[in-house]
C-alpha cells in the first residue's frame, strides 16, 4: 500500500519511530488503526479512504478475510442473497449469482481491497491495546511471526476482529479417550475424507446442517446432535429469498406477525420439523434473532436428508468412549469421527484493555445495535451487530463519518485542505511523552 510505504519512508527520518533489536518497534500512526482485515475492517478502511483519511489495518493471519479463506468449507456460498452482503461503496459484479460462492465472495473482497488500496500489515496479532490517558492516544501492541513486537500509537482504534475470532470447542467427557478424529468446522473442508464413515456432527446451526449435507454428498453416514430448539426456514419462499421477504414485510408489519407468516409458510413447505426431531423455539425466528442473536437455519437441502433418514438426529452427548458415543438417554453408538459445529466467539477481552464499551463476558459491545459502534476516547467497533455483513456496513459508514468529522473539528480551519491529503504531524508534546513511554517499555 502506497500510504504505508510513504509512512515507512517518513519513519526512517522520524525521531518518533524507533526500531532497534532490543526494544519493540514503535510506529506513530497519524490516522486510525483498524484491527482485523475481514470484511468489516476492509469496509471501514474503504469508507475512511473515501473521506481522505488514511488508516492502518493490522491482521494476525497472512491474508485478508482469513475466516473465509482459511476456516470455511469448500461448498460454502453466502447464506444470504448478495444484495444483503455488499460492503459499502462497491457492490457485487452483476454477473455473480444470487448466492455467490466462497471463491466469488473472496474475489470480490480482493478487488475491493485493491480498489481502495487497502494493504494490511499481515502476521501481526494484536496482543494488547490500551488508551493512555495522559497523552490521549491508544497504544496497540502486536506480536509478529517471529515473535517480534511492535507498538502502534494512534488517536483512533477500530475493533474489527469479528464475532467469529476463536472457535468454541466444548468440553465433552471422555474427549481424550475417543480414538477417531475430532475437528471443529473451522478445519472441515469437505466430506471427501469421510466417505463410508460414520460421522457425528455436534451443533444444528447453519454450518452443522450444511456439513451434514456435504457428508451425505460424499457418501458418509452423518448423525446430527440436536440438544436445543431450532428454527429451520426454507431459504426461499414465494419466489423470494426468505431473508429479503422478511426485511420487506418488516417495513409494514410488526415482527410477531411477520414471524407468524414465516412459520405458516415454512410449515406448508417443510412440514412439521418437530416430527423429525427439530423442535421449534417458543419465540418466532425474527423475535428470537432480535432478542438473543440466534440465527434461524436457512435450509439448503439438509431437511430432505433428515426426512429420508440419510441424516439421523441424536440427543445430547453424555460421554465419549474409545470408538463410541454415549448419549444422555442411555444409548451408545459407534462413530469414526466427530465434527464440532459449535460456533465461534469474540476474542476482544483477551487483548483490549478497557472496561466500558465491550462486555468482558462475551466480547461484544454492551450497547446493542444500532448503538454499539462507538465508545469513548476514539474507540469504535465494527461487525459486532449479529447482523452479518449488512450490519457491518452500517457500522463502517458511521465510523468513517465520525472519525472524519472529528479530524476536521480538531484541525484549524486553515489547515483543513492540507489535512485531508497528508497525515497530521504528531502533537508538539508527543516527543517528551514518547520518552516517558520508552522508559516504561
Residue 59: HSE in the Cβ half-sphere, 13 Å Cα cutoff: 21
CB of 80 to ligand FAD, least distance (A): 5
CB of 340 to ligand FAD, least distance (A): 13
Closer by beta carbon to ligand FAD, 178 or else 185: 185
Closer by beta carbon to ligand FAD, 48 or else 80: 80
User: Each residue of 169-201: b (16+ CB within 10 Å) or e?
Assistant: eeebeeeeebebebebbbebeebeebeebbbbb
User: Each residue of 355-393: b (16+ CB within 10 Å) or e?
Assistant: eebbeeeebbbeeebeebbbbebbbbbbbbbbbbbebbb
CB of 352 to ligand FAD, least distance (A): 9
C-alpha cell, 439: 522508559
Q: Which residue's CB comes closest to ligand FAD?
A: 38
CA 229 to chain centre: 24
Closer by beta carbon to ligand FAD, 35 or else 325: 35
Closer by beta carbon to ligand FAD, 236 or else 326: 236
The verdict on whether omega for the bond into residue 370 sits within 30 degrees of 0, i.e. cis, is yes
CB of 247 to ligand FAD, least distance (A): 13
CB of 255 to ligand FAD, least distance (A): 20
CB of 163 to ligand FAD, least distance (A): 6
CA 90 to chain centre: 20
What residue ranges bind ligand FAD (CB under 6 A)?
35-41, 58-61, 65-67, 72, 76, 78-80, 85, 125-126, 160-162, 164-165, 207, 347, 351, 383, 388-390, 392
Closer by beta carbon to ligand FAD, 163 or else 259: 163
Closer by beta carbon to ligand FAD, 161 or else 242: 161
In order, the DSSP letters of 234-302 are ESEETTEEHHHHHHHHHHHS-HHHHHHHHHHHHHHHH--GGGGT-PPPSS-HHHHHHHH-PPPEEESSH
Amino acid at each position: 500500500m502506497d500510504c504505508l510505504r510513504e509512512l515507512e519512508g517518513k519513519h526512517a527520518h522520524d525521531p518518533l519511530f524507533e526500531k532497534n533489536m532490543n526494544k519493540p518497534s514503535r510506529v506513530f500512526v497519524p490516522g486510525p488503526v483498524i484491527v482485523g482485515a475481514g470484511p468489516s475492517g476492509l469496509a471501514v478502511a474503504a469508507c475512511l479512504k473515501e473521506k481522505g483519511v488514511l488508516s492502518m489495518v493490522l491482521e494476525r493471519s497472512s491474508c485478508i478475510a482469513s475466516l473465509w479463506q482459511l476456516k470455511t468449507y469448500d461448498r460454502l456460498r453466502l447464506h444470504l442473497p448478495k444484495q444483503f452482503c455488499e460492503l459499502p461503496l462497491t457492490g457485487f459484479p452483476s454477473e455473480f449469482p444470487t448466492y455467490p460462492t466462497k471463491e466469488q465472495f473472496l474475489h470480490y473482497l480482493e478487488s475491493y481491497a485493491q480498489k481502495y488500496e487497502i494493504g494490511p500489515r499481515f502476521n501481526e496479532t494484536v496482543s494488547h491495546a490500551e488508551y493512555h490517558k495522559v497523552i490521549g492516544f491508544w497504544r496497540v501492541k502486536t506480536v509478529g511471526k517471529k515473535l517480534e513486537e511492535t507498538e502502534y500509537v494512534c488517536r483512533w482504534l477500530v475493533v474489527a476482529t469479528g464475532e467469529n475470532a476463536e472457535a468454541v470447542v466444548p468440553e465433552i467427557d471422555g474427549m481424550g479417550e475417543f480414538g477417531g478424529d475430532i475437528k471443529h468446522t473451522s478445519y472441515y473442508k469437505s466430506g471427501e475424507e469421510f466417505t463410508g464413515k460414520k460421522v457425528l456432527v455436534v451443533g444444528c446451526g447453519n454450518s452443522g446442517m450444511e456439513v451434514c449435507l456435504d457428508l451425505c454428498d460424499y457418501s458418509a453416514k452423518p448423525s446430527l446432535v440436536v440438544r436445543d430448539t431450532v428454527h429451520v426456514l426454507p431459504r426461499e419462499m414465494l419466489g423470494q429469498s426468505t431473508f429479503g421477504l422478511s426485511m420487506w414485510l418488516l417495513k409494514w408489519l410488526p415482527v410477531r406477525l411477520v414471524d407468524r407468516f414465516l412459520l405458516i409458510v415454512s410449515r406448508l413447505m417443510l412440514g412439521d420439523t418437530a416430527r423429525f426431531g427439530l423442535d421449534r423455539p417458543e419465540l418466532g425466528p425474527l423475535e428470537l434473532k432480535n432478542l438473543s442473536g440466534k440465527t434461524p437455519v436457512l435450509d439448503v437441502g439438509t431437511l430432505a436428508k433428515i426426512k429420508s433418514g440419510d441424516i439421523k438426529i441424536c440427543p445430547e452427548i453424555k460421554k465419549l468412549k474409545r470408538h463410541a458415543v454415549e448419549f444422555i438417554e442411555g444409548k451408545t453408538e459407534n462413530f469414526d469421527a466427530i465434527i464440532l459445529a459449535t460456533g465461534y466467539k469474540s476474542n476482544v477481552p483477551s487483548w483490549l484493555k478497557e472496561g466500558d464499551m465491550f462486555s468482558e463476558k462475551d466480547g461484544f459491545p454492551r450497547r446493542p445495535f444500532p448503538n454499539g459502534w462507538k465508545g469513548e476516547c476514539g474507540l469504535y467497533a465494527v461487525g459486532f451487530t449479529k447482523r452479518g455483513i449488512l450490519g457491518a456496513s452500517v457500522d463502517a459508514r458511521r465510523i468513517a463519518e465520525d472519525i472524519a468529522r472529528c479530524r476536521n473539528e480538531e484541525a484549524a480551519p486553515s489547515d483543513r485542505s492540507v489535512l485531508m491529503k497528508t497525515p497530521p504531524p504528531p502533537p508538539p508534546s508527543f516527543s517528551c511523552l514518547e520518552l516517558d513511554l520508552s522508559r516504561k517499555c
